[in-house]
Amino acid sequence: MATISNSTSHANGDGNNGNDYSNGNGNGSFNVNVNENTNDNNKDKDNTIGLLDPTNDPNSEQSQAYFKYKRSKSRRACQVCNRRKVRCDVMTKDYPREKCTNCEEFGVECILVERRKKRTKAQIEADRKRLKAEGRNQNSEDGDFYEENPSSLGDVKQSSSIPLDQRSVSSSASPQQQQQAQHDVLGPHLPPEAISDRTDPFSELKGDEIILDSSKLLSKEVDVLKLSQFFKVLTSHFGLRLALHDYYKFKGKIPVSDLITDECISMLKLAGCFILPNKEKCDKYIKTYFETFNVAYPLISKPVFYRDFADLHNPPSLLLLRTILFVGSMLSATTEEEKEEYRILYEKARLVYSSDLEPNGIYLATSIFIISSGPSTHPSLKTLEDHFSSAVKVAIAFGMHKDVQNSTELTKDEKSAYKRLFWILMIRDRSFALSFSKNFNFEESSCTVKPFTLEDFEDFGDKQLEIFEHYNYAVPSQSIINRITILQKRTNMAALKSLPITAFINEMNTIMEDFYKNSPPNYRDPSYSIGSLTTNVYILSLASSVQRVNLFRLHVMMLRNIKSESTTPGSSHYLEIENLDLSCSWTALVQVSHRMATIASECLLKFKDKLPYSQNMLFLLFQGVLGLLPVLFHDDERVRKMAEDDLQKVIPVMEEISDCISWHLTSVYHFILKEIYPDPVKLRRYVKMAINGKNLEALSNDSANYSLLNQIV
């Protein structure tokens, strides 16, 4: 008597709950096992088939006709239907413009994967001989061979046990083969199209590249006595801090390889992080770095670097060397191929940083600061704020914000590096806070580092006086930013409480005027140097910030008094608010924007080669220039014409330096001037949204009909 196996499953061809029977492979067949020697004791169980077929005989024509699948099998199915084991009608649709019925119903993407063509035995044998002759590893490159030859799976399992760092991809393989090898090793669970087809120019070795010995680099020992200083900062427990030095003296030195996992080492090798450009390119990039970037940010002593990194095959810091090569290639790139090369160097530098390979505090903080100047053309925190914050945290953790001149654990070169690193990070920290209204990372009260002296830059040759002159002016300016920021916070709090703040505003104006008057004559001229240009932009941004605080105060006071009962026309309090003089702050903002536009049109092109590493200055400059857009709707024709002329001068300059802009937010300003400003409809809508106003024709305080926010702007 016939028995029906319990392995049958229910599935409906259209994806809904139905009564069709399927064996799980989508062909609609039904497993029926015939056992002629069954006992009569099983009759009651076998009678259940009578519910389906009255003949009670699965071999009869009637039973066979009943169990036969009533619809033909799909010739091809999309990925979704294939996984769900349901019928797919994608071949009857106009794919890819139309989805199959199931994907259309569930609102998912319909993907029809192309079938892989099977190769003949002759083709497989020919490929095997060719790969063997070329010294290839058949197990890692011929995926089709293993699919068609199950007997070779043992070799695959054996090869999969080989560590990633011992597997190699032939440099002479075609880009398609390299991409397939990347897919097999890095992401076998991903579709091939998910792997980037952009090939690394260094993956095709030409024979003159610098190949680093990873085992030698990773066998270097870390002086853990210096790490004790790192952990002293992390703990406030006095007894624990006393024992740290003796503890690390007991621990001795440990190899770098103990600080990272074998998987990280394999990843670095597979990505080619231990392969540098040839000697000629490395020398060129290093020279470019010290002639440009290191003059603006004197992080590294050139004689010390050339002494410590004399052998590029065995650098003391792979991370620092890679970041210097990245910046040098970025500043010397002219062709698209060279630009692609520096992007690859940048990503490899980030990969080395992410692997936590560098334990040296000076090398680590310096490298992170350099990486933060990378090509962040996309809005990523990992390329700007996150990297800079990490550099500050490393500096604080290693005590760089403290005066270490009397330290016995640091050499003379390390003490100088600590001092330069701190002040450069401090200046960048204050400029970021000014640009993005952020809190300070460095607390001024906890910093005890002394200002620069001329001897601090004795390793910088003929640039010594120029660098000292700039930082001798830039370092005191940080205290000005601190004082202005504190006064701004007090002013805002007083304004929210409707307290008088005129004294705060006057004090901020006095601080700015005194600082500018006491500045060296050269630094009052923005065309003197990139340092004077940056300083003028920062001063103008501070002045603009002061006036915005004053306008904010007036805005809050007006809103509070309008909502109160004493704001009816004719009351003394209302007349006091009405008589408030907004023209001074409004005029000051217009003058700042006009001055910013003048600097942009007259000075930027002169320092174009230095703009790639002056991104914060560019951001503040074009932020000020955009302040002219509302002025285009001023009721005074002369003011409107001035704003129009300024913008017409700035736009061509911004177009010419567009390739120097790497900050995403600065690129947004470029987009506004290029796409929104020329279109009157877009411009009007943009300014309305920017100031939340209704009467753009009446922005001055002389008009009778205006909103409060219009009056503030």
Per-residue H/E/C for 536-553: HHHHHHHHHHHHHHHHHH
Instruction: Give the other-Cβ count within 10 Å of 9's Cβ.
Output: 9
Average pLDDT estimate for 619-625: 85
Would you say residue 684 has pLDDT above 70?
A: yes
CA Rg, the chain, in Å? 36
- 139 and 156 Cβ atoms separated by less than 8 Å: yes
Q: Long-range contacts made by residues 280-283, C-beta under 8 angstroms, separation at least 24?
A: 281/329, 282/210, 282/312, 282/325
pLDDT score of 304? 92
Banded model confidence at residue 526, pLDDT cuts 50, 70, 90:
confident
Would you say residue 329 has pLDDT above 80?
A: yes
Least confident of 167-181, 238-252, 551-565, 643-657: 167-181
pLDDT score of 282? 92
d(CA 663, CA 618): 9
Would you say residue 613 has pLDDT above 50?
A: yes
Query: 289: closest CA among 366, 361, 384?
Result: 366
Least confident of 158-172, 257-271, 594-608: 158-172
List all residues 6 or more positions away from 558 whose beta carbon is below 8 Å from its beta carbon.
Answer: 577, 708, 711
pLDDT score of 420? 92
Least confident of 111-120, 242-251, 299-308, 346-355: 242-251
What token pair was written down for 514?
A: 């005194």
Banded model confidence at residue 149, pLDDT cuts 50, 70, 90:
very low
Dihedral, 539, 540, 543, 549 alpha carbons, nearest 10: -120
β-pair partners for 10: 21
pLDDT digits (tens, 9 = 90+) for 564-606: 644 444 444 443 444 445 566 677 788 888 988 999 888 888 8
β-pair partners for 255: 221
Would you say residue 2 has pLDDT above 50?
A: no
What string of DSSP letters covers 365-380? Answer: HHHHHHHTTS---S--
pLDDT digits (tens, 9 = 90+) for 437-480: 677 888 888 888 988 888 888 888 888 888 888 888 788 877 88
Would you say residue 557 has pLDDT above 60?
A: yes
Average pLDDT estimate for 370-391: 67
∠ at Cα 347 (346, 351), nearest 5°?
A: 120
What token pair was written down for 495?
A: 């304004």
Average pLDDT estimate for 125-149: 55
Least confident of 30-34, 66-70, 596-600: 30-34
Query: 320: closest CA among 386, 364, 375?
Result: 364
Banded model confidence at residue 558, pLDDT cuts 50, 70, 90:
low
pLDDT score of 429? 86
Rounded to 5 degrees, φ, ψ at 187 are: -145, 65
Query: 331: closest CA among 320, 322, 342, 321?
Result: 342
What token pair was written down for 90?
A: 């994608």
Can you tell me whether residue 21 is helix, strand or coil?
A: strand
d(CA 1, CA 33): 9
d(CA 483, CA 595): 24
- Which residue type does 117 have? K
d(CA 237, CA 232): 9
Would you say residue 20 has pLDDT above 70?
A: no
Banded model confidence at residue 33, pLDDT cuts 50, 70, 90:
very low
pLDDT score of 422? 92
Average pLDDT estimate for 668-697: 74
Q: What is the mean pLDDT of the chain?
A: 70
Measured in residues, the chain has a length of 713
Can you tell me whether residue 699 is helix, strand or coil?
A: coil
- 421 and 395 Cβ atoms separated by less than 8 Å: yes
pLDDT score of 270? 84
pLDDT score of 290? 92
Average pLDDT estimate for 394-417: 85
Instruction: Give the other-Cβ count within 10 Å of 159's Cβ.
Output: 13
- Which residue type does 579 have? N
What string of DSSP letters covers 141-174? Answer: H-HHHHHH-GGGHHHHHHHHTS-GGG----TTS-
Would you say residue 286 has pLDDT above 90?
A: yes
Q: Which residues of 414-429 are buried (b: 16+ CB within 10 A; e: fewer)?
A: bbbbbbbbbbbbbbbb
CA 646 to chain centre: 33
Banded model confidence at residue 287, pLDDT cuts 50, 70, 90:
very high
pLDDT score of 300? 92
For the question of whether the overall pTM of this predicted structure is more than 0.75, the answer is no
| Highest mean pLDDT: which range of 33-42, 338-347, 375-384, 658-667 | 338-347
Rounded to 5 degrees, φ, ψ at 296 are: -75, -40
Average pLDDT estimate for 480-487: 81
What token pair was written down for 681?
A: 């409809």
Q: Which is it for strands 221-223 and 253-255: parallel, antiparallel or unpaired?
A: antiparallel
- 369 and 395 Cβ atoms separated by less than 8 Å: no
